[in-house]
Amino acid sequence: MSLAKVTPLETLAAWLAEAEAARVLEPAAMALATVSPSGVPSVRFVLCRGIDSRGVRFFTNYDSRKGRDLAAHARMMQRMAGWFDGFGSNNGAMHVRLRGRGKDGRLQSRTWTLVAENGDGPRVPTLAAVLLTKKLLNVPGFAPITLRGATPASNLLTLREFEGEWRSLAIRTTVTGETCAQASENFATATSRRVT
Ligand SMILES: Cc1cc2nc3c(=O)[nH]c(=O)nc-3n(C[C@H](O)[C@H](O)[C@H](O)COP(=O)(O)O)c2cc1C
């Protein structure tokens, strides 16, 4: 589906409908995080029983821990969430900047930038799960994961695999490099700022 010009709740409702149509096990199960009046966080699963412009509906006991946590904070949090409505847009971006010395010993800097348009930003954090699922299911064209048990996740997914996954989305990336002179200057400024 295109995510252009839809609210986050409409997007969530569409994703839930997709999961239901795909007959995913417990598609309506969602993690609900709350915090107690004394600041202790808790997270547990509840079933989503509907989504409309007022929010996400679930059923529970008002006297439960989550009921008491929500009674203490939910109204205030909902009011505060509205303060940021005007800042939202359908576009998102992230930068990863690497700085260090090249083989020649000179300072270098590279910045990788990802821009997601048409509301495709929320898809970005889901791509790792999509790729891992394909690999675990041995989908042709995806290098299978042969490791078993607890293992470091680094190196399981490559940037090339991510690029293949977002080809159908409104996502583009660029890599820019600073000249050594710029990198040195910026590095020196950043270091002196840290020191002072
Ligand atoms: C898949 C799944 C769905 C659940 N759905 C609900 C639900 O809709 N409402 C509910 O109160 N508890 C539900 N539970 C139980 C909660 O996760 C939780 O254990 C219980 O409500 C007590 O939470 P609390 O003490 O933090 O308030 C569900 C648990 C699972 C595993």
How far away, in angstroms, is 46 Cα from ligand 1 center?
5
pLDDT at 179: 60
Based on the fold, state whether residues 96 and 185 are members of the same structural domain: yes
* Residue-wise burial string across 166-195, b where 16 or more C-beta atoms lie within 10 A, e elsewhere: beebbbebeeeebebeebeeebeeeeeeee
How far away, in angstroms, is 29 Cα from ligand 1 center?
9
The domain total for the chain is: 2
Q: Has residue 2 been placed in a domain? A: no
Residue 88 Cβ inside 6 Å of ligand 1? The answer reads no
Q: Has residue 1 been placed in a domain? A: no
Residue that terminates a domain, selected from 30, 54, 87: 87
- Residue range of the domain that includes 14: 8-87
1: pLDDT strictly greater than 70:
no
Bridge partners of residue 55, in order along the sequence = 52
Can you tell me whether residue 81 is helix, strand or coil? helix
Based on the fold, state whether residues 51 and 111 are members of the same structural domain: no
Element (H, E) at 130: helix 127-136
Residue 45 Cβ inside 6 Å of ligand 1? The answer reads yes
Based on the fold, state whether residues 170 and 104 are members of the same structural domain: yes
Q: Has residue 139 been placed in a domain? A: yes
* Spatial contact of 111 and 179, defined as CB atoms under 8 Å apart: no
Based on the fold, state whether residues 27 and 106 are members of the same structural domain: no
CATH number at residue 29: 2.30.110.10
Q: Has residue 130 been placed in a domain? A: yes
Residue that terminates a domain, selected from 87, 103, 132: 87
> In one letter, which amino acid is 192?
S
Q: What is the DSSP string of 15-65?
A: HHHHHHHTT-SSTTEEEEEEE-TTS-EEEEEEE--EEETTEEE----TTSH
Residue that terminates a domain, selected from 87, 110, 129: 87
Q: What percent of the chain has pLDDT over 90?
A: 49
Based on the fold, state whether residues 114 and 59 are members of the same structural domain: no
194: pLDDT strictly greater than 60:
no
187: pLDDT strictly greater than 80:
no
Based on the fold, state whether residues 83 and 100 are members of the same structural domain: no
Confidence class for position 191, pLDDT limits 50, 70, 90? very low
Q: Has residue 181 been placed in a domain? A: yes
Q: Has residue 109 been placed in a domain? A: yes
C-alpha span between 149 and 21 (Å, rounded): 31
Residue 139 Cβ inside 6 Å of ligand 1? The answer reads no
Confidence class for position 87, pLDDT limits 50, 70, 90? confident
How far away, in angstroms, is 190 Cα from ligand 1 center?
48
End-to-end CA distance of the chain: 51
The residue count of the chain comes to 196
* Spatial contact of 165 and 130, defined as CB atoms under 8 Å apart: yes
